[in-house]
Amino acid sequence: MNTLTRELNSVAEPADQTQLHEEDHHHHQAPKGIWRWLLTTNHKDIGTLYLWFSFIMFLTGGTMAMVIRAELFQPGLQLVEPNFFNQMTTVHGLVMVFGAVMPAFTGLANWLIPMMIGAPDMALPRMNNWSFWILPFAFTILLSSLFMEGGGPNFGWTFYAPLSTSFSPDSTALFVFSIHIMGISSIMGAINVIVTIVNLRAPGMNWMKLPLFVWTWLITAFLLIAVMPVLAGAVTMVLTDKYFGTSFFEAAGGGDPVMFQHIFWFFGHPEVYIMILPSFGIISAIVPTFSRKKLFGYSSMVYATASIAILSFLVWAHHMFTTGMPVFAELFFMYCTMLIAVPTGVKIFNWVTTMWRGSISFETPMLFAVAFIILFTIGGFSGLMLAITPADFQYHDTYFVVAHFHYVLVTGAIFSIMAAAYYWLPKWTGHMYDERLGRIHFWCSVISVNVLFFPMHFLGLAGMPRRIPDYAIQFADVNQIVSIGGFAFGLSQLIFLAVVLKCIRGGEKAPAKPWEGADGLEWTLPSPAPYHSFSTPPEIK
């Protein structure tokens, strides 16, 4: 509580202009080099840190995916031990979810929300610093457990009990602590976002004028506060079951392993929406810009986002259709799941209608946005197939599920993050990125990602189980194609790194508003955006 109160004083400071100048002054003499980044409370610095951290995690998790695909290139065991293979699938999932996607969104929130609502900074800058800097520790702990005796977590990113309790490696405590830290970081980030949006909007920026990225993030932040603590509870129960003799999930002691799944998915399903709602905001910013039209159906977008968030609490057991639930529960969760497709469909409809008869141009951000709309929809359809209870008995725990969630997460969440990076890079760096390289990156990515994930649908329908290091011989050809797609997709991301580095180091000077069709307060600031966004609140017409 003490840090919080100090926080308040620091926010109250910019009250009068002289003090603000003093603070500015202070910043000019602020420590340089590593200390600048360690001690920074500036939303743009912290946004940058989050984004780079996310990219490093993306490459780390990607490397693990390459190990997985190399092992699966042929049937039989070639490269790695089955136990190490399991560690790769587990840590790949954890790193991508908690290290790549979520921090990327938090980074974007840091950079963009203050600029979009006309605020000078985030509301709680010191907490902001903390919420970023505990993340590298969390992931150091998690990744270091891979090198311990007995290995790192090998029970899948969903850490089902009793795999994560009775049968887990000795390093499981480290996994638990790392999840605790990640959770605390996310919750602090979410609190910051909510306080910023509620209290720091420029005068006249009323709720129904908020850019959709801000809206979707506000709702995401509430989801985070609702479910990250439940995840923390779940890992805590795993910890005490494993080390302190409790029996939450231990049948021998009167507990229930299926209960783990209920608690986990109560977190897990809202979590997947945490990873997609901000994408909806990004796409809703980019599509109108490059269609040179206003977004179709702004208010329906807001309501759709809110209803997706509420419904996401009522569908968790669609991950558990095969656990032997009574028929009425199977039906309830099936219908609720299908109901979510309705507001999602509203969004797709609005984006397509925004493009309809627009004068569209296909710069890289728009390419990624259009690919998002098409490929995310494919992921939504495979989700609907999985939602059909009797069908799920066949598809569950096969590669069909793997195909589904990679379509929604890679060509959904990750593609939207790429789109956002290209769209706002000129604002961040003051330079235009290399459009030609950007398009090469896009086409390499979009082709390879489909070679990688589309055939997985067929593998799953044909019955290939997920999370196995070896497989039956009839799956060999398709797995080879998938692996080639995987290597190509991994390599393509190095082009993205090249584009970003090149853009930071130089390039054509970017005007304040590099995209003629763009709309929003961030484009009224010069490029690169000044260290302090809006010292005096802008006027909203």
Partner 1 sequence: MVSQAKSHHKLIVLLVIGSVGMFGFGFALVPLYNVLCDKLGINGKTQNTASSYQAMTIDTDRTVTVEFIAQVQTGMPWAFAPKLKRLKVHPGELIRTAFLASNHADRRIVGQAVPSVSPGQGAAYFHKTECFCFNQQPLAAKADAELPLIFYVDPDLPESIHTLTLSYTLYDITDKQASDALEQGAAK
Applying CB under 5 A, the residues found at the interface with Cu ion are: 269
Look at residue 143 and give its three-state secondary structure. helix
Q: How far is the CB of 470 from Cu ion (least distance, A)?
A: 28
Per-residue b or e along 263-274, where b marks 16 or more CB atoms closer than 10 Å to that residue's CB: bbbbbbbbbbbb
Which residue, 179 or 373, is less far from partner 1 as judged by CB? 179
List the structure tokens of 63: 């490397």
Residues 188-247 within binding reach of partner 1 (CB under 8 A): 190-191, 194-195, 198-199, 225-234, 237, 245
Nearer to ligand HEM, 284 or 289 (CB): 284
Residue 201 or 269 having the CB closest to Cu ion: 269
Please give the positions annotated as active site: 92, 121, 157, 185-186, 269, 271, 273, 284, 318-319, 344, 347, 466
- Residue 141, helix vs strand vs coil: helix
Rule CB under 6 A: choose which of 169, 412, 438, 469 binds ligand HEM. Answer: 412
Q: Is the peptide bond before 31 cis (omega within 30 degrees of 0)?
A: no
Does residue 275 interact with ligand HEM by CB under 6 A? Answer: yes
- Which residue minimizes CB distance to ligand HEM? 383
252 binds partner 1 (CB under 8 A): yes
405 binds ligand HEM (CB under 6 A): yes
Measuring CA to CA, which residue among 183, 152, 177 is closest to residue 238? 177
Q: Which of 66, 65, 73 is nearest to 92 (CA)?
A: 65
For partner 1, the binding residue among 14, 463, 465, 520 (CB under 8 A) is: 14
How far from chain centre, in Å, is Cα 112?
A: 16
Contact with ligand HEM (CB under 6 A) among 220, 344, 448, 483 = 344
Whose CA is closest to 229, among 261, 267, 191, 258?
267
Asked if 341 touches ligand HEM (CB under 6 A), the answer is: yes
* Closer residue to partner 1 in complex, CB, 245/390: 245
Whichever of 215 and 273 has its CB closer to ligand HEM, that residue is 273
> In terms of residues, how long is the chain?
541
Residue (of 347, 315, 310) closest to 330 by Cα position = 315
Task: Enumerate residues 361-380 that contact ligand HEM by CB under 6 A.
Answer: 380
Residue 409 in contact with ligand HEM, rule: CB under 6 A: yes
158 lies in the site for ligand HEM, by CB under 6 A: yes
Q: Burial of 199 by CB count in 10 Å (0-12 exposed, 13-18 middle, 19+ buried)?
A: exposed
266-305 residues near partner 1, rule: CB under 8 A:
266-267
258 binds, among Cu ion, ligand HEM, partner 1, none (CB under 5 to 8 A by kind): partner 1
Q: CB nearer to ligand HEM: give 55 or 395.
A: 395
Instruction: Write down the least CB distance from residue 258 to ligand HEM, Å.
Output: 15
Of the candidates 229, 176, 218, the residue with the CA atom closest to the CA atom of residue 195: 218
Cis-peptide into 162, omega within 30 deg: yes
The residue range among 102-110, 162-170, 238-246, 336-344 that interacts with ligand HEM, by the rule CB under 6 A, is 336-344
Q: Is 33 in the site for partner 1 (CB under 8 A)?
A: no
Q: What is the helix (H) or strand (E) element at residue 7, kind and residue range? A: helix 2-12
DSSP 158: T
Residue closest to 231 by CA, chosen among 256, 255, 263, 261:
263
Q: 311: which 2 tokens?
A: 């419904």
Q: How many other CB atoms are found less than 10 A from the CB of residue 460?
A: 24
C-alpha distance from residue 30 to each of 25, 198, 383 (Å): 9, 30, 50
Q: Is the dihedral of CA 465, 470, 472, 476 positive or negative?
A: positive
124 lines the binding site for partner 1 (CB under 8 A): yes
Residue 245's binding partner among ligand HEM, partner 1, Cu ion, none (Cβ under 5 to 8 angstroms by kind) is partner 1
From ligand HEM, Cu ion, partner 1, none, interface partner of 346 (C-beta below 5 to 8 A by class): none
CB 277 within 8 A of CB 223: yes
Minimum distance from residue 104 beta carbon to partner 1 (Å): 22
- Which residues sit at the interface with partner 1, rule CB under 8 A? 4-5, 7-9, 11-12, 14-15, 123-124, 187, 190-191, 194-195, 198-199, 225-234, 237, 245, 248, 251-254, 256, 258-259, 262-263, 266-267, 324-326, 329
